[in-house]
Copies of this chain bind each other. A is one copy, B any other.
Amino acid sequence: MARTAGSHSALTAPRIREAAQELFARHGYAAVSMRQIAAEVGVQVGALYNYTPDKQSLLFDLMTAHLDALLAAQAAEDRPADPMQALEAFARFHIRYHAERPDAVFIAYMELRNLTPDNFATVETLRHRYEDRLSAILSAGQAAGAFRIAEPRIATMAIIAMLTGVNTWFRQSGRLSLSEVEDVYWDMTRRLVTG
């Protein structure tokens, strides 16, 4: 790889990602040009190509960076041995992490259609790795007799969709704090696997 590192580059790469993320979230990937991204960052479009070969790579980088960071953050959380406590930790983490990153989450779901087949496969693998962690908690709870789940994989998808749905309506300025919202969703998640 060409030597592009240094203080200028180190500053610009995150700014490119940030600009691309904001523009993709606002207008959609297909509607945003490399020229617009360069203008948003305040560089010439030619300079953009020092950091990324094309727009597809930029989208792929954003999605994999989001999922890598999600996996790392979740791995850094406490993982209680007790399945009920582990599920609570997962549910609360998921809500908090996603509510704080609405643009990245929006893109990660919405722009799957715009990934090349190879890039899509890589992104799906990362996403499955995250889902597998919840499935493992559900299976452990099932094995321990703490949970009653007919279809662990479907329960995984259902819980993730329910929790991520917070992003469609939650506003910091609303009646409930995020921590209160966490409480309500944790209560529903617990019932869903035990009730």
Q: List residues of A whose CB falls within 8 A of some B CB.
A: 26-31, 109-110, 113, 150-151, 154-155, 157-162, 164-165, 168-169, 176, 181, 184-185, 187-188, 190-195
Contact = CB atoms under 8 A, between A and B. Distances in A.
Contacts of A185: 154, 158
A133 B27 CA distance: 32
A165 B158 contact: yes
A155 B110 contact: no
A178 to B, nearest CB: 12
Contact of A187 (B110, B150, B157, B194): B150
Contacts of A195: 190-192, 194-195
A177 to B, nearest CB: 13
A162 B160 CA distance: 8
Interface centre among A26, A113, A192 (most CB of B within 10 A): A192
Contacts of A31: 28-31
